[in-house]
Amino acid sequence: MSYCEPALCTIIVYSSNKLYIIPLCRTEENIAERFGTTLRHLFSYPHPIVIAAIGKERYKEGTARIIEGLQCRELNKQLFFKLLDIFISELFPELQQQPPQD
């Protein structure tokens, strides 16, 4: 057993628990409230280096776009699967090798 296997098992178990648990039904009001709260928190504590690099207005606009883009549950699952695929490919590069053709 390599040193990576326990960590990988932990990630797989954690992700399967998060993916396959029946989600709570959230109302549109609840979703909008959480979205607003998230934006307020992100706007309250911007990193000074980011503000100096891109400006406060662009920071707010970009942050709002990112958060809006992460509101779709189905797209988030696909994003997670893609990131997991990349992670596994980097961890085990031999999985990407094609078998020799006869």
Between 97 and 93, whose confidence is greater? 93
What would the mean pLDDT of 4-32 be, rounded to a whole number? 69
Cα torsion for 69, 71, 77, 80, to the nearest 10°?
50
For residue 11, being part of any structural domain is answered with: no
For residue 13, being part of any structural domain is answered with: no
Boundaries of domain holding 62? 27-90
Report the number of distinct structural domains present in the chain: 1
pLDDT in tens, 38-89: 889 988 888 889 889 999 999 999 989 988 888 888 888 889 999 999 999 8
What would the mean pLDDT of 11-35 be, rounded to a whole number? 72
For residue 19, being part of any structural domain is answered with: no
For residue 50, being part of any structural domain is answered with: yes
Q: Is 51 left (phi over 0), alpha (psi -120 to 50) or beta?
A: alpha
For residue 31, being part of any structural domain is answered with: yes
| Nearest of 40, 42, 28 to residue 71 by alpha carbon | 28
For residue 97, being part of any structural domain is answered with: no
